[in-house]
Amino acid sequence: MTFTGVGVSPGRVLGTVRQMPAQVSEPPAGEPLDPSTSAEDAAAALRAASSAVQADLKSRAERAHGDAKAVLQATAQMATDSMLLKTAVKHIDRGLSAERAIWEASASVAEMLHNLGGYMAERSTDVFDVRSRIVAQLRGVPAPGIPTATTPFVLVAEDLAPADTATLDPDQIIALVTSGGGPQSHTAIIARALGLPAVVAAVGADALADGTEVYIDGAAGTIVVDPGAEELAAATAWTAMASRLSDFDGNGRTADGHLVPLLANVGGAKDAVAAAAAGAQGVGLLRTEFCFLGRDTEPSIEEQVEAYRGVFDAFGGKKVVIRTLDAGADKPLPFLTDATEPNPALGVRGYRTDWTTPGVLDRQLAAIASATEGSAADVWVMAPMIATVDEAEHFASMCASAGLKTPGVMVEIPAAALRSELIFEHVEFASIGTNDLTQYTMAADRQLGPLAALNSPWQPAVLQLIGLTVAGAVAEGHDKPVGVCGEAAADPALAVVLTGLGVSTLSMTSRALAAVAAVLASVTLDQAKDLAQLALAAPTAAAAKESVRSRLPVLAELGL
């Protein structure tokens, strides 16, 4: 049997399925203690469950590395927190079930931590994590979150939340399959960043039983159940090819020498150091909100300076494009965004948060300016979610007030693409966010699996808007650079099309640099321009993709 979804990160592997356990549901309010259980026994069961959760988290922490290890250690600590357990036991003593008692105790402890602010406030997420785990343990169901196993496995989930991905260990997980999620969803972005083969929107994959043997083709988007010799050969060939594709010599250029600097998308200093080691020619997108995800207080200027300087230091003498906070929709930041908005993707997000929470953007620009002092990096600053010419003008004036010399905008709303010529009168550059540009052009939520086909950056309408943006950049009176920093840049065939459309830099996860460089080097600039015209003229996204891919034989040679 074969399932088909949307391939979002290349790679061919064989492995065993592990399903992501379902979310733990809230025990009903007022759920009473079972009459056959005494309060003492319920309290003892609660203590035993919390110790079991702690032991599990500790053993996972021992096997994990880096950030995942630190997250797991902190959560393990919280599992047997004395205040948490004492409060829960009080609830049991007044007649609540152990499950409801720990649920309510967690809410009050989390609120108290939250009110303490700073580091303590951040621990409130750990409280909620252990709460779900303890309830699952009491109910005898699998713990929520990424499962553990003694051997590497293929993780199958409905979709992954940003918090899950913090504990996603690429040594344990060899591929990702989701039944939901679109090609620009968080899961897809993380899979590419980790170099894990991934298929999203694979309808029916949630029915695969744990332990099922599967073959995953992350480029074709297929999942073959009970694979045979053919799939084994394909997986073996991919492993050999992947090592050939692991080196990037730091040069993005076409076969006839047209330079296309290949930059990295990073979320902080750690990524930046890895990107520099992978040969990235600079940073095309520093997602500053990733430095502060999960925080519910605004980071201080000092914290920001430290976070940004870590990235600048990794790229001395090179370009670093830093994006101001893009809070909202798939990247909520509680100190800026309103979780109750009915339509977050169309709401107060990105640059717009300056209207509802003025001051945060000014302070961020001041922090960026301060981080650039004494840094050898060439720092460019851009705002996300710019829709109009006067927004671009206002952002440029804010940058000027902060002493920042190279202001730019992200073009990710069709209105900005259509009006780019006027926008370029105020800013020095633009970077196209194809993830959001596609979502807004096609009116298709980038996180929704059923809309994955609409949500493809191969949509000719999206390509046309990219072409218009470039045309506006080179219109009479100015000649300004336009980069692409959406996931489209990491698709080697689309990278050729973008180059042919006149895009001057491509920014992607550093894992994709070598593959993009190899495919770009297989065509001349004129061939890239011809392929761009072919894609623009195609009637559908699928036809655009197919006709371009069929003219790039190097893709098949490299297994991409």
Question: Which 237-296 residues touch ligand PEP, going by CB under 6 A?
Answer: 285, 287
**93 marked as part of a ligand binding site:** no
Determine the interface stretch with ligand PEP among 97-105, 391-399, 432-440, 511-519 (rule: CB under 6 A).
432-440
Q: Which of 114, 399, 426, 485 is catalytic?
A: 485
Please state, in angstroms and rounded to a whole number, the distance separating the CA atoms of residues 137 and 114: 26
The interface partner of residue 324, options being Mg ion, ligand PEP, none and the CB cut-off 5 to 8 Å by kind, is: none
| Rounded least distance, CB 341 to Mg ion, Å | 17
Among 99, 159, 436, 445, binds ligand PEP (CB under 6 A): 436
**349 marked as part of a ligand binding site:** no
**546 marked as part of a ligand binding site:** no
Q: Which residues are at the interface with Mg ion (CB under 5 A)?
A: 412, 433, 436
Q: Which of 186, 291, 399, 426 is catalytic?
A: 186
Whether the CB-CB separation of 40 and 263 falls below 8 Å is answered with: no
485 an active-site residue? yes
91 an active-site residue? no
Question: How much is the CA Rg of the chain, to the nearest whole Å?
Answer: 25
CB-wise, 287 or 480, nearer to ligand PEP?
287
Site map (CB under 6 A) of ligand PEP, residues 293-332, x = contact: ---------------------------------x------
Q: Which helix (H) or strand (E) holds 350?
A: none
Pairing, β 12-19 against β 6-9 = unpaired
Please state, in angstroms and rounded to a whole number, the distance separating the CA atoms of residues 309 and 441: 35
Determine the interface stretch with ligand PEP among 68-76, 430-438, 448-456, 520-528 (rule: CB under 6 A).
430-438
What is the strand order of the sheet 213-217 is part of?
2-4, 222-225, 213-217, 12-19, 153-157, 173-178, 198-200, 6-9
Whether the CB-CB separation of 27 and 211 falls below 8 Å is answered with: no
| Rounded least distance, CB 416 to Mg ion, Å | 12
Give backbone dihedrals phi and psi of 223, rounded to 5 degrees, phi first.
-130, 115
The sign of the torsion formed by the CA atoms of 43, 82, 125, 71 equals negative
Among 19, 434, 499, 527, binds ligand PEP (CB under 6 A): 434
412 in contact with ligand PEP (CB under 6 A)? yes
420 in contact with ligand PEP (CB under 6 A)? no
- 418 vs 376, 424, 481, CA distance in Å? 35, 12, 16
Please state, in angstroms and rounded to a whole number, the distance separating the CA atoms of residues 343 and 465: 24
| Rounded least distance, CB 419 to ligand PEP, Å | 18
CB-wise, 81 or 326, nearer to ligand PEP?
326
Determine the interface stretch with ligand PEP among 15-23, 388-396, 429-437, 497-505 (rule: CB under 6 A).
429-437
447 in contact with ligand PEP (CB under 6 A)? no
Contact partners, residue 242, CB within 8 Å, separation at least 6: 11
433 in contact with ligand PEP (CB under 6 A)? yes
| Rounded least distance, CB 486 to Mg ion, Å | 7
Would you state the structure tokens that stand for residue 524, as one six-digit string? 């001349």
Q: Which helix (H) or strand (E) holds 120?
A: helix 118-122
The interface partner of residue 287, options being ligand PEP, Mg ion, none and the CB cut-off 5 to 8 Å by kind, is: ligand PEP
| Rounded least distance, CB 485 to ligand PEP, Å | 5
**47 marked as part of a ligand binding site:** no
Contact partners, residue 391, CB within 8 Å, separation at least 6: 351, 383, 409
- Residue whose tokens read 């201080």: 300
Q: List the end-to-end C-alpha distance of the chain, in Å, as a whole number.
A: 23
Please state, in angstroms and rounded to a whole number, the distance separating the CA atoms of residues 188 and 184: 6
Instruction: Give how many residues touch ligand PEP by CB under 6 A.
Output: 10
Binding site for ligand PEP (CB under 6 A): 285, 287, 326, 412, 433-436, 485-486
Residues at the annotated binding site for phosphoenolpyruvate? 287, 323, 435-436, 446
Residues at the annotated binding site for Mg(2+)? 412, 436
* Residues with catalytic roles: 186, 485
